[in-house]
Amino acid sequence: MVSKELLEILRCPACVREKEGLLDYIQESWLVCKECGRKYPIRQDIPVMLIDEGDKWVNTAVKDLPIPPPNE
């Protein structure tokens, strides 16, 4: 589980320079940007906050995200 303190400071790396880049915490498995829709997987309790990783899932609906995220 990702700590509450970490969740409070994490922001979408693609949006944070121009916007807030706030993230929704989805089923302890994903962080979803409220602004651009990129979805960042959480693997072994570690958020993978790489723009390329978020881009892989941008067109996947939140309800269709695999739980847990696949290991890649």
**22 found inside a domain:** yes
Model pLDDT, residue 21: 94
Q: How many CB atoms lie within 10 A of CB 34?
A: 13
**72 found inside a domain:** no
Would you place residue 55 in the very low, low, confident or very high pLDDT band (cuts 50, 70, 90)? very high
Q: Answer whether 56's CB lies under 8 Å from 66's CB.
A: no
Domain region containing 59: 4-64
pTM (predicted TM-score):
0.92
State how many domains the chain has.
1
**18 found inside a domain:** yes
Percent of residues, the chain, with pLDDT higher than 70: 100
Give the CATH number of the domain where residue 24 resides: 2.20.25
Q: Average pLDDT, whole number, for the chain?
A: 95
Q: Which residue has 């949006």 as its token pair?
A: 15
pLDDT digits (tens, 9 = 90+) for 2-29: 999 999 999 999 999 899 999 999 999 9
